[in-house]
Chain A
Amino acid sequence: MAMSYDAIRIEDYLKQFYEQFLPIMEEQSSYITVDLDPDLKAAYSFDVIKSMSIINNMLASGYIGSNNSLLTIGIKESNRLGGCYLDFCVSYTGVGIDKDKIAFLEDRYEEFNIEIKASNGIGSIFRFSMVAEIADDNKLEDISYIFEARSLMNLTHLRIKNRKDCRLKGVTGTEKTDDRPILEGINWSLGDANTGNTDITLSTACRFYKHMLQSIEELAGLYLSLKNDDGQSDDYNNYRICVHGLKGVLATFGATNLSYLAYLIEMASKDNDNNRIDVLHPIFIEQLNLAYSNWTPLKISTTKTKSDDFDSLVSKLEQLKESAESLDFDKCDELLADICQNSYGEELDQSIEELSGSIDMLDDNMIINLCDGIISVAGRK
Chain B
Amino acid sequence: MSLLFNETQKKHILFVDDSPVLLRTVKGFVPPKYKVSIAVNAEQAFKIIDMSMPDLIFLDYEMPDINGAQLFKLFKERPDMDNVPVIFLTAQSSQECIQEIMELQPAGYILKPPSAERINAAIKKQLLV
Contacts and interface: CB of A to CB of B under 8 A. Distances in A.
A362 interface: yes
Contacts of B18: 241, 245
B84 interface: no
Interface stretch (B73-81, B100-108, B114-122): B114-122
A196 interface: yes
B127 interface: no
Contacts of B37: 327
B123 interface: no
A61 B94 CA distance: 11
B115 A193 contact: yes
Kindly state the interface size class of chain B when it binds its partner: 20 to 34
A211 B20 CA distance: 11
A363 B38 CA distance: 11
Interface string A336-376: 00000000000000000000000011111000000000000
Contacts of B116: 194-197, 200
A51 interface: no
Nearest to A270: B92
Contacts of B62: 241, 244
A1 interface: no
Contacts of A244: 62, 91
Contacts of B111: 57, 60-61
A204 B25 contact: yes
Nearest to A240: B62
B100 to A, nearest CB: 13
A128 B93 contact: yes
B44 interface: yes
Interface stretch (A94-102, A144-152, A159-167, A297-305): A144-152
B95 A195 contact: no
B67 to A, nearest CB: 9
Nearest to B20: A362
A330 B94 CA distance: 35
A329 interface: yes
A172 to B, nearest CB: 25
B113 A251 contact: yes
Contact of B23 (A146, A247, A326, A362): A362
A88 interface: no
B21 A200 contact: no
Contacts of A211: 21
Interface in B38-53: 38-40, 44, 47-48, 51
B29 A204 contact: no
A207 interface: yes
A144 B95 contact: yes
A249 interface: yes
A196 B91 contact: no
A243 B64 CA distance: 12
Contact of B28 (A144, A197, A241, A361): A197
A55 interface: no
Q: Chain A CB within 10 Å — which of B21, B40, B93 has the most?
A: B21
A208 interface: yes
B112 interface: yes
B94 A241 contact: no
Contacts of A195: 25, 28-29, 115-116
6 contacts: A146-B95, A147-B93, A194-B114, A195-B116, A327-B48, A327-B51
Given A144-B95, A194-B113, A203-B25, 12 more contacts: A57-B93, A61-B111, A64-B113, A146-B95, A147-B94, A197-B29, A197-B116, A200-B29, A241-B62, A248-B113, A252-B21, A363-B40
Interface of B: 18-25, 28-29, 37-40, 44, 47-48, 51, 62-64, 91, 93-95, 111-117
